Amino acid sequence: MAEPKPQKEFSLDKVRNIGIIAHIDAGKTTTTERILFYTGRTYKIGDIDEGNTQMDWMEQEKERGITIVSAATTTFWQDCRINIIDTPGHVDFTAEVERSLRVLDGGITVLDAEEGVQSQSETVWRQADKYNVPRICFVNKMDKLGADFLATVKSIEDRLGANPAIMVLPIGAEQTYKGNVDLLSKKSLIWGSDELGAKYETSDDIPEEMKSQVEEYRHKLIEKIAETDDALLEKYLNGEEPSVEELKKALRAAVIAYKLVPIYAGTSLRNKGVQPLLDAVVDYLPSPADILPAKGINPKTGEETERIADDNQPFAGLAFKIQIDPHVGKLTYFRVYSGKIASGSYAFNSTKNTQERIGRLLLMHANTREELKEARAGEIVAIVGLKETGTGDTLCEQQNQIILEQITFPEPVISLAIEPKTKSDQEKLGYALKRLTEEDPTFTVKTNHETGQTIISGIGELQLEVMVDRMKREFNVEANVGAPQVAYKETISNQAEAEGKYIKQSGGRGQYGHCFLRVEPTGRGEGYEFVNAIKGGAIPAEYVKAVEKGVIETMDNGILLGYPMVDMKVTCYDGSYHDVDSSEVAFKIAASQALQAATRKANLSLLEPIMKVEVTTPSEFMGDIIGDLSSKRAQILGTEERARATIVKAMVPLAELSGYATTLRSMSQGRASYYMEPSHYEDVPQNIVKDMLAKSTFTGRVE
């Protein structure tokens, strides 16, 4: 590879780290492609339908026309360096959105002008709220039939609870859409002379029929901005109009403080309205210097500490994504929060307590790359050569340690059994699965000891389908796949106690383990807790550890139907041991017996994943669709009218939704579509548990 080129230096205030987030099909990737074209990063506009986009470079992405992995790229506009992450819109890849938002400073939310705020837009909006990411909205597809800019802005207010600042008014809509009126400068921006949209005309002529509307909305915009700044408000109330410069400065502060969300309009596919959006990124979204310092914990003292975005501070950063690259191996995407790091140097992984060598530093452009000598505060780069570092790990200086706030991911709700077709596939399967679990934290793998099968789990069927496809293409693993299974969980609803005693005499040294356990339920989603309440050395500390191991193994294997146990607290409060015969194994078996006996007394129950489902349908099919959902144990939350469609919202158990896409198509002549995402876990009704127990071959093993 060529010698690393000296990088053009950018001061921190000239860097923007932004993400493009939205509902599936709102036009994120198309918008990103236009940004790359207008900023001179690409010489040809990529088109999803032709499968030649820069950001969707995986084979599966090109085939399906969707984004699967968040791609990172760097581009330049008006003396600013913009690092862009194009995230997936499909809920099965929500982990990609979550980890991208964790490391970004600002976001562009793309909305469909006809559909308004859709369900996944709401989900990603809430994810961005969680990380306090300031954003701009881009109302895309203004040329689409049924496009309605002001109705979309109203849905931003109603459904997202945001405070929109309308920056432009579209000139025309649907086929007549040709540009925008910029409200601050009172200029018309018209696209049309240049087919690729790289040039547009700016003029002071506002269409006659829009003049009063422009005045009204400009007045509202100035008022909204002035309300966020005391000095401007005073000036405004005294009848003086603040200058455009003053308004821009106040708006920038309001966006960073998340008091206002600027709204722009355009159509990426028809190459209109993208450049003002880029200007807005530079003018209003924060640089790394504008955001609050990164917070973390000092692993040595446990105290909270922080890092300011400054090259001269001690080095610290967060690995937010692992990607297996066919050319360079394992790539770790990394956000530098403070200090700087050079290629060939060493860094300390404070999460795993290990030293790592930084092989090479790369500036990524989707899947092409450029070598760097060093990475500085505020930058997003990819590192080659890290061995132990995983998603969410912190790298820092060994003498100035910090563990930055981790990234949280949703739990898998669906699983598949997978087995290799041939002996040679067997060896490759383990390697492929290890690589894929490193890449996607919501994709998990475990072995079912009863059947010897490998079980892969994830958030949705599409995610698992893509993973199996990738195994075949990237790792040449041919595998047989079972039908998707729902990821049930087991729990208890009462408190109970039980004793476990394992004694075996068989000539020579025997086995002796004896413990008393108390189990009690915890709140939904609180997980598992083990408490050592042994007094007076009734069981030595090393055997208490063996008791905990026995408890964890038994919980993983399940007691009622073989599903993992969750949401319970286990206390080991008494027991006894034998000086000679006691061993770790004996205490593990005793713990397993005690846990099984206690949980059976504590009213074992089964939990199932409940999905939030939204069906968009022409209104004539609404009755059939609601009737069908009700037969699937659904709780109908309500319906709403939008444009020419009705949206039915419901909570439905995942177990009832297999093959729902086909059912829905046949019920609506192919005109309805649905969206679903995991919501929460709930108890399975007793009559269904009885049926499952009757059919189950699970024996619940006691050693």
As a residue count, the chain comes to 703
The C-alpha atoms of residue 384 and residue 419 are separated, in whole angstroms, by 32
Q: Which of 15-19, 356-360, 674-678 has the lowest mean pLDDT?
A: 674-678
pLDDT in tens, 376-402: 888 888 898 888 888 888 999 999 999
Is the model's pLDDT at 215 over the cut of 60?
A: yes
For the range 73-76, what are the long-range contacts, defined as Cβ-Cβ under 8 Å and sequence gap of 24 or more?
73/32, 73/36, 73/41, 73/364, 73/365, 73/366, 74/363, 74/364, 74/365, 74/380, 75/35, 75/36, 75/39, 75/40, 75/41, 75/365, 76/39, 76/40
Return the structure tokens found at 462.
């599409």
**Which residues pair with residue 519 across a beta bridge?**
496, 570
Position 142 scores a pLDDT of 92
Span 96-125, average pLDDT: 82
Which amino acid, one-letter code, is at 672?
Answer: A
Is the model's pLDDT at 432 over the cut of 80?
A: yes
Higher pLDDT, 365 or 77: 77
In this structure, is the dihedral angle defined by the CA atoms of residues 675, 681, 687 and 692, taken in order, positive or negative? positive
Is the model's pLDDT at 671 over the cut of 60?
A: yes
Position 221 scores a pLDDT of 94
Domains, the chain: 12-205+261-284 (3.40.50.300), 294-404 (2.40.30.10), 414-487 (3.30.70.870), 490-602 (3.30.230.10), 608-689 (3.30.70.240)
∠ Cα 507 511 515 (to 5°): 155
What is the DSSP secondary structure assignment for residue 185, as one 8-state letter?
T
CB 73 within 8 A of CB 366: yes
Q: Where are the alpha helices (H) located in 558-685, listed in sequence order?
A: 584-601, 622-631, 660-667
The closest alpha carbon to 560, from 696, 411, 416, belongs to 696
What is the DSSP secondary structure assignment for residue 529, as one 8-state letter?
E
Q: Which of 454-463, 547-556, 679-688 has the lowest mean pLDDT?
A: 454-463
Position 92 scores a pLDDT of 57
pLDDT in tens, 292-304: 888 899 988 888 9
pLDDT in tens, 552-572: 999 988 899 888 999 999 999
Position 270 scores a pLDDT of 85
Position 652 scores a pLDDT of 94
Is the model's pLDDT at 481 over the cut of 80?
A: yes
pLDDT in tens, 512-534: 999 999 999 998 888 899 999 99
Is the model's pLDDT at 592 over the cut of 90?
A: yes
For the range 460-464, what are the long-range contacts, defined as Cβ-Cβ under 8 Å and sequence gap of 24 or more?
460/90, 460/91, 460/92, 460/413, 460/414, 460/676, 461/92, 461/414, 462/90, 462/92, 463/92, 463/93, 464/414, 464/415, 464/416
pLDDT in tens, 227-276: 998 889 998 888 888 889 999 999 999 999 989 999 999 998 888 888 99
Is the model's pLDDT at 185 over the cut of 80?
A: yes
Position 6 scores a pLDDT of 41
Position 380 scores a pLDDT of 86
What's the half-sphere exposure (Cβ side, CA atoms, 13 Å) at 78? Answer: 13
**Max Cα-Cα span within the chain:** 103
The C-alpha atoms of residue 20 and residue 438 are separated, in whole angstroms, by 24
Q: Which residue has the tokens 């040809």?
A: 44
pLDDT band at 44 (very low <50, low <70, confident <90, very high): very low
CB contact set of 507 (below 8 Å; sequence gap of 6+): none
Position 371 scores a pLDDT of 86
The C-alpha atoms of residue 538 and residue 175 are separated, in whole angstroms, by 81
- Around Cβ 69, how many Cβ atoms within 10 Å? 22
The closest alpha carbon to 566, from 610, 519, 524, belongs to 524
CB contact set of 521 (below 8 Å; sequence gap of 6+): 491, 492, 493, 494, 495, 567, 568, 569, 602
The closest alpha carbon to 260, from 162, 401, 379, belongs to 162
CB 277 within 8 A of CB 180: no
Is the model's pLDDT at 220 over the cut of 90?
A: yes
Which amino acid, one-letter code, is at 529?
Answer: E
Higher pLDDT, 475 or 401: 401
The C-alpha atoms of residue 373 and residue 369 are separated, in whole angstroms, by 13
Position 554 scores a pLDDT of 93
Across the chain, mean pLDDT equals 84
Position 368 scores a pLDDT of 65
The C-alpha atoms of residue 420 and residue 538 are separated, in whole angstroms, by 48
Position 57 scores a pLDDT of 41
Higher pLDDT, 571 or 423: 571
pLDDT in tens, 194-212: 667 677 888 888 888 899 9
pTM of structure: 0.72
What is the DSSP secondary structure assignment for residue 3, as one 8-state letter?
P
Higher pLDDT, 686 or 449: 686
Position 365 scores a pLDDT of 65
Percent of the chain residues past pLDDT 90, beyond the cut: 35
Position 618 scores a pLDDT of 86
Percent of the chain residues past pLDDT 70, beyond the cut: 89
Listed ranges 135-139, 359-363, 535-539, 578-582; the one with the highest mean pLDDT:
135-139
